[in-house]
Amino acid sequence: MPENLPQNPTDALEWIEARAPQWIERAGQIGLGEAFAQEVADLAGVARARRLAADEAAAHAKSATLAWRNGIGAATSRARAAIATIKAHAAATGDPGVYALAGLSPRARPGEAPPPEKPTNLAFDVRPAGEVELSWNGGGPQGTYYLVQRSLDGGETWRVLGTTTSKRFVDGDLPFGLDGIRYAVVARHGEHAVWGHVLFVRLGTKPADGETALRERAA
């Protein structure tokens, strides 16, 4: 350790702590006086306590910063999902006022991103309560969402049941007295609309193969 008092605060504290006991013990011999030497030692003790408090505060600040980043990350991720859902609702209803109600800007014009992939492997499962759960595969640029459509007249008329950003949908509003229902999923992004194959669900049974007539336009 250097003989002279260091300029660095941490080094200076350690330097004082190393010498203070000797100064107290030899106060008379080195011309300090015991009270003077003890004051130096006491002040070094106060400084050490405050240094420990500062280190603890820094550790808490680091932990708090990490917690803040995790928190805002989760919030923004959920907010992006909410924005996609709001935009999907605006597109499905054809009501541009939805954007203003949600405090959002209208969707940017298409062309900057490629169209979404065609929904594939559309499948279904009939729940015990009689609901039809649909699932499919698909992908596309950020903001891609899906319109789930149903036809009760052999595919002549299609009704949008809802929109989703996931690849799963439950139809819990089944009409009575029909032999079967046709479903189709349309992937949307901007003005791009990509239809998947039509799936025929025979009520009470599950056919081996779905009907595979490809639609080329959105309803």
10-residue mean pLDDT profile of the chain (219 residues): values are: 79 89 88 89 92 88 85 83 84 82 67 78 86 92 90 86 92 79 91 90 57 37
Residues 130 and 75 in one domain: no
Overall number of domains in the chain: 2
Residues 63 and 95 in one domain: yes
What is the SS3 assignment for 192? strand
Q: Which pLDDT score, from 0 to 100, does residue 133 have? A: 92
Q: Which pLDDT score, from 0 to 100, does residue 107 have? A: 56
What is the SS3 assignment for 6? coil
CATH of the domain at 154: 2.60.40.10
Task: Examine residue 45 and state whether it is found in any structural domain, yes or no.
Answer: yes
Task: Examine residue 144 and state whether it is found in any structural domain, yes or no.
Answer: yes
Phi and psi angles of residue 167, each rounded to the nearest 5 degrees, phi first: -120, 45
Residues 3 and 102 in one domain: yes
Task: Examine residue 217 and state whether it is found in any structural domain, yes or no.
Answer: no
Task: Examine residue 213 and state whether it is found in any structural domain, yes or no.
Answer: no
Crossing angle of helices 9-25/34-93, nearest 10°? 150
Residues 92 and 127 in one domain: no
Q: Tokens standing for 37?
A: 């030497």
Considering the entire predicted model, what is its pTM? 0.45
The residue range of the domain holding 46 is 1-106
Which of 50, 81, 106 is the last residue before a domain boundary?
106
Q: Which pLDDT score, from 0 to 100, does residue 207 have? A: 45
Which of 74, 106, 138 is the last residue before a domain boundary?
106
